[in-house]
Amino acid sequence: MEDLGAVVWPPEPVRTGRLVLRASEIRDRAAFIELLASPEVHAYLGGPRPRDELEREMPGAPERWPGSFVVDLDGSMIGQILLRRATGHRRPAAAGKIDLGYLFLPRAWGFGYAAEACAAALGWLAGALPGEPVVLTTQSANAGSMRLAAKLGFTEVERFEAWGAEQWLGMRSPATPSG
């Protein structure tokens, strides 16, 4: 995976009805550690990272690269959206395409925040890099993620075995201009 490269970064904050999407800042460090050390968040992602390792190695403003959005609710980080170039993706249909990932703190699940934030990030992407399809890989057993992918308009390309589980590869076509 590579970052998005030639986009304006940090971006102007993206505002939705309830959330702000923005680049990472120093004040997000504790929330990033919570996110990356959470067994619940990483149940379908190969397991969490050890908290002491994260405390030691996490930089001041973590994950500050083009395409990594902090999702902010009332001034606090509740999740991260990752838009990356899937160079080296093991499935040819996804290789080189833009890939969407999402990680939210468990206390923020079940309110529609992930759907609201991902839709806004995809809207931002359509302006920053127009006309590109977006891919998404998730374990098919990850029911919440599968529901979210469908809500966002991703449709199945294929299922494949990797990392000891069945994976679902979805794709979302770029919006076509109307009128």
Ligand X SMILES: CC(C)(COP(=O)(O)OP(=O)(O)OC[C@H]1O[C@@H](n2cnc3c(N)ncnc32)[C@H](O)[C@@H]1OP(=O)(O)O)[C@@H](O)C(=O)NCCC(=O)NCCS
- What are the residues binding ligand X (CB under 6 A)? 41, 44-45, 101-104, 109-115, 138, 142, 144-145, 147-148, 151
Residue closer to ligand X, measured from CB, 130 or 159:
159
Q: What share of the chain is helix, strand, coil (3-state, %, to 5)?
A: 25, 30, 45
In the complex, the smallest distance separating the C-beta of residue 16 from ligand X, rounded to whole angstroms, is 11
In the complex, the smallest distance separating the C-beta of residue 45 from ligand X, rounded to whole angstroms, is 6
Residue closer to ligand X, measured from CB, 48 or 174:
48
In the complex, the smallest distance separating the C-beta of residue 105 from ligand X, rounded to whole angstroms, is 8
Residue closer to ligand X, measured from CB, 39 or 75:
39
Residue closer to ligand X, measured from CB, 9 or 142:
142
In the complex, the smallest distance separating the C-beta of residue 177 from ligand X, rounded to whole angstroms, is 27
Alpha carbon distance 65, 24 (integer Å): 8
In the complex, the smallest distance separating the C-beta of residue 69 from ligand X, rounded to whole angstroms, is 13
Alpha carbon distance 153, 103 (integer Å): 18
The residue among 71, 68, 1, 80 whose CA lies nearest residue 35 is 80
Closest-by-Cβ residue to ligand X is 112
Residue closer to ligand X, measured from CB, 45 or 128:
45
User: Which residues lie closer than 8 Å to 72 by C-beta, 6 or more apart?
Assistant: 19, 20, 21, 22, 78
